[in-house]
């Protein structure tokens, strides 16, 4: 990540915490089949940016109160979000979906482990994410129980049929039958709000919820994360056009080749970039209005300026 030195060191520490926790919470010497654990870990430790967990921890820090360890409370949710994100990538890459053979510069899970085991590794990551949310942090206090249940409801709703899975269904349908020109803009916005936006909002929301955020702060963080998610997707689309294959670790310009509905295809490169900048400005304004800061503004700037 680029940006201020302060963000760099925050992100580095957050990633270290998340990787260490994922390693601890995911069965290495499992009660289950070792090959399943290997497939789950292959995709989970594939050099992802850990964007969602970093965001969850930043949101937790931004609302932290003096009496509780916000990082400890939010870390399981941060890890669960990464597990759910990883499962979605494994399933999206399958031959029956996007049929991608390369992800982050490495062969995708089904290429390495076969289609059956890849599907099951995704299923297991999704299931274990909820196990983790229910189990950790192991604090037996009514207030924490209540937060955990709200977090599970938030995350499952964001990942489910009206959220992320619904977005992937819409995306598949659009590839098969592109929308009329009149409907293209709303179709594009709808797909991305669900497919990537919902989980990004859930990451920020879950981190804040677990850290005990007040309702006003929760609402502001949700508004912020909505802008952030849209910016993230626009920048993804722009990078697909501008980026080189080796930087992105996947085939650049693939969307354009596939005739996919993207922001640059619909609005052009310059207008897409303008819209991404406008998202970040609105995200900053939302935080300022609620008096929230910490690393959240810098994360928005990073999402805008990232090169991969």
**Interface ranges with a second copy (CB under 8 A):** 27, 30-33, 35-37, 40, 87, 91, 94, 96-97, 114-117, 119-120, 122-124, 126-128, 130-131, 133-135, 142, 145-146, 148-150, 152-153, 156-157, 159-163, 165-166, 168-170, 172-173, 194
Minimum CB distance to a second copy smaller for 107 or for 243? 107
Q: What is the smallest separation between the CB atom of 261 and a second copy, expressed in angstroms?
A: 16
Question: Within 10 Å of residue 99's Cβ, how many Cβ atoms?
Answer: 11
Q: What is the smallest separation between the CB atom of 143 and a second copy, expressed in angstroms?
A: 9
Q: What is the smallest separation between the CB atom of 30 and a second copy, expressed in angstroms?
A: 6
Minimum CB distance to a second copy smaller for 128 or for 255? 128
- Rounded to 10 degrees, the C-alpha dihedral 24/30/35/41 comes to -10
Minimum CB distance to a second copy smaller for 170 or for 239? 170
Minimum CB distance to a second copy smaller for 143 or for 285? 143
Question: Within 13 Å, how many C-alpha atoms sit on residue 77's CB side?
Answer: 36
Q: DSSP secondary structure string, 164-191?
A: HHHHHHHHHHHHHSPPPHHHHHHHHHHH
Q: What is the smallest separation between the CB atom of 169 and a second copy, expressed in angstroms?
A: 4
**Closest by Cα among 47, 42, 39, 62 to 15:** 47
Q: What is the smallest separation between the CB atom of 4 and a second copy, expressed in angstroms?
A: 37
Minimum CB distance to a second copy smaller for 96 or for 288? 96
| CA–CA distance, 80 with 203 (Å, rounded to integer) | 9
Are 231 and 304 within 8 A, CB to CB?
A: yes
Are 205 and 156 within 8 A, CB to CB?
A: no
Are 44 and 125 within 8 A, CB to CB?
A: yes
Q: What is the smallest separation between the CB atom of 194 and a second copy, expressed in angstroms?
A: 7
Q: What is the smallest separation between the CB atom of 69 and a second copy, expressed in angstroms?
A: 20
Helix (H, G, I), strand (E, B) or coil at 103: strand
Minimum CB distance to a second copy smaller for 196 or for 301? 196
Minimum CB distance to a second copy smaller for 98 or for 227? 98
Q: Does residue 137 have a cis bond before it (omega within 30 degrees)?
A: yes
Question: Within 13 Å, how many C-alpha atoms sit on residue 128's CB side?
Answer: 25
Q: DSSP secondary structure string, 113-138?
A: H-HHHHHHHHHHHHHHHHHHHHHSS-
Minimum CB distance to a second copy smaller for 132 or for 252? 132
Q: What is the smallest separation between the CB atom of 153 and a second copy, expressed in angstroms?
A: 4
């Amino acid at each position: 990540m680029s940006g201020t030195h302060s963000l760099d060191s925050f992100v580095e520490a957050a990633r270290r915490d998340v990787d260490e926790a994922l390693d601890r919470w995911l069965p290495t010497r499992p009660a289950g089949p070792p090959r399943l654990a290997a497939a789950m870990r292959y995709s989970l430790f594939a050099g992802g940016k850990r964007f969602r967990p970093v965001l969850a921890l930043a949101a937790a820090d931004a609302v932290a109160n003096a009496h509780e360890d916000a990082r400890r409370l939010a870390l399981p949710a941060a890890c669960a979000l990464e597990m759910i994100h990883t499962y979605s990538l494994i399933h999206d890459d399958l031959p029956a979906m996007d049929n991608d053979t390369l992800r982050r510069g490495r062969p995708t899970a089904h290429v390495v482990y076969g289609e059956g085991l890849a599907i099951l590794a995704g299923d297991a990551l999704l299931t274990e994410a909820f196990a983790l949310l229910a189990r950790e942090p192991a604090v037996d206090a009514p207030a924490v129980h209540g937060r955990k249940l709200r977090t599970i409801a938030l995350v499952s709703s964001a990942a489910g049929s009206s959220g992320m899975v619904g977005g992937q269904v819409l995306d598949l349908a659009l590839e098969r039958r592109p929308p009329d020109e009149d409907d293209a803009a709303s179709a594009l916005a709808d797909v991305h709000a669900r497919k990537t936006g919902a989980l990004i909002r859930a990451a920020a929301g879950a981190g804040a919820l677990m850290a005990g955020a007040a309702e006003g702060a929760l609402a502001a963080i949700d508004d912020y994360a909505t802008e952030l998610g849209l910016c993230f997707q626009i920048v993804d689309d722009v990078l697909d056009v501008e980026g080189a294959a080796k930087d992105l670790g996947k085939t650049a310009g693939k969307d354009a080749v596939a005739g996919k509905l993207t922001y640059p295809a619909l609005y052009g490169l310059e207008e897409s970039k303008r819209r991404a900048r406008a998202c970040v400005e609105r995200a900053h304004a939302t935080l300022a209005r609620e008096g929230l800061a910490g690393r959240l503004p810098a994360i928005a700037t990073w999402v805008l300026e990232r090169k991969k």
